[in-house]
């Protein structure tokens, strides 16, 4: 029986360059080891989950071309972030003055992000996804978690343009205004960044994969019907781990404004750590050989600024260097992952 290969990508704004760098390396190694020059992320993973920038990456990897193959290679996706990343977080001096740098209005106008998403994802629908996927967002009107899934997108009420899914999952509060999108049956949703509750979507991926008939969906009889943990290889990639310490003396009398940034920071990192803990505990219940099929790669941010919106050319390059450093420090584990991806075709 061939195991289900799951890829999960954390949120992290412009820090998405780091996992994009890691995945570019993985794709190159897949081409080399499989002797398949057309090898792609979408071909060697059976299910993909993403939040925020991880959701954007997911959609780019799973976006089809006219021949139902990957429209973009992992290297092209990385170059998009490196070359166009500064356009996403573009703001004029006048707009900065008008919104008091994000205090009384969102920090960045959404038009640049939306233009970029439209250029790259075009008219493709979520139902066109090359592989099953789940992308998180949060419904502010109905106050509940909202999940875009490509399987449920076969129904028009759950189907959306890929570009609008990408916009919704990355609508980070205070950075961009909420996304107001319509499904193919004209149902309207008001959504924000899924990172507010699922910055690390790996556990969401696990839960969703449990109910999928991969034999049927992938037309592959060697795949599992409703797999359990022992039938899954999970590769979960973070967007950079740097923990700024906060001290009691600085926060014992802190007010709302002083707590905003630390709370956002702790919510994102705390969620990612909790999901990692839960999945490790799940895999520890399995036989020894299967325990090794959960891979969590959390890069270190050493050269770059850890802000999710520092898209200066200098910081984009620094993030790329941190991505390359992550590859160098994890070559043994990445080689193991590549081998497993090929073995479980």
| Contact assessment for residue 124 and residue 194, using Cβ atoms and an 8 Å cutoff | no
Instruction: For residue 95, give Cα distances in angstroms to 58, 107, 112, 327.
Output: 31, 8, 14, 38
Contacts of residue 97, Cβ cutoff 8 Å, sequence gap at least 6: none
Pair type for strands 232-237 and 4-9: parallel
What is the Cα–Cα distance from 130 to 133, expressed in whole angstroms?
A: 9
SS3 98: helix
Q: Is 339 a catalytic residue?
A: no
Pair type for strands 294-297 and 47-51: unpaired
> Strands (DSSP E) along 10-143, which ranges?
47-51, 133-139
What is the Cα–Cα distance from 284 to 48, expressed in whole angstroms?
A: 23
Q: Kindly name the residue from 24, 40, 42, 52 that is annotated as catalytic.
A: 52
What is the Cα–Cα distance from 271 to 12, expressed in whole angstroms?
A: 12
**For residue 69, which phi and psi values (nearest 5 degrees)?**
-115, 170
Alpha carbon of residue 276 to chain centroid: 15
Q: Kindly name the residue from 193, 276, 309, 322 that is annotated as catalytic.
A: 193
Two structure tokens written together for 243? 């923990």
Closest of 142, 181, 130, 180 to residue 158, by C-alpha: 181
Pair type for strands 188-193 and 133-139: antiparallel
Q: Is 305 a catalytic residue?
A: no
| Residues annotated as part of the active site | 52, 193
């Amino acid at each position: 029986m061939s195991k289900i290969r799951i890829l999960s990508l954390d949120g992290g704004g412009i820090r998405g360059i780091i996992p994009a760098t890691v995945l570019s390396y993985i794709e190159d190694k897949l081409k080399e080891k499989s002797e398949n020059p057309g090898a792609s992320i979408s071909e060697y993973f059976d299910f993909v989950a993403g939040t925020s920038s991880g959701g954007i990456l997911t959609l780019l990897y799973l976006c089809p071309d006219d021949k139902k193959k990957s429209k973009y290679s992992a290297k092209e996706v990385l170059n998009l972030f490196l070359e166009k990343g500064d356009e996403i977080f573009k703001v004029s001096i006048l707009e900065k003055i008008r919104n008091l740098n994000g205090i009384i209005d969102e920090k960045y106008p959404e038009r640049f992000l939306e233009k970029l998403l439209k250029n790259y994802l075009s008219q493709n629908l979520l139902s066109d996804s090359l592989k099953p996927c789940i992308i998180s967002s949060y419904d502010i009107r109905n106050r509940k978690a909202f999940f875009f899934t490509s399987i449920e997108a076969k129904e028009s009420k759950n189907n959306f343009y890929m570009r609008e899914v990408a916009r919704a999952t990355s609508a980070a509060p205070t950075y961009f205004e909420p996304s107001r999108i319509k499904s193919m049956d004209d149902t309207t949703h008001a959504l924000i960044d899924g990172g507010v509750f699922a910055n690390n979507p790996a556990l969401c991926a696990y839960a969703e994969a449990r109910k999928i008939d991969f034999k049927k969906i992938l037309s592959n009889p060697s795949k599992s019907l409703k797999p359990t943990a022992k039938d899954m290889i999970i590769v979960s990639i973070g967007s950079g781990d740097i923990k700024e310490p906060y001290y009691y003396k600085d926060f014992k009398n802190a007010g709302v404004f002083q707590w905003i940034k630390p709370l956002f920071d702790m919510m994102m990192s705390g969620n990612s750590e909790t999901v990692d803990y839960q999945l490790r505990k799940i895999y520890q219940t399995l036989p020894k050989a299967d325990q090794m099929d959960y891979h969590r790669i959390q890069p270190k941010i050493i050269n770059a600024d850890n802000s999710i919106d520092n898209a200066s050319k200098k910081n984009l390059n620094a993030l790329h260097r941190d991505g390359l450093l992550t590859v160098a420090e994890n070559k043994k584990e990445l080689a193991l992952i590549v081998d497993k991806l090929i073995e479980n075709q």
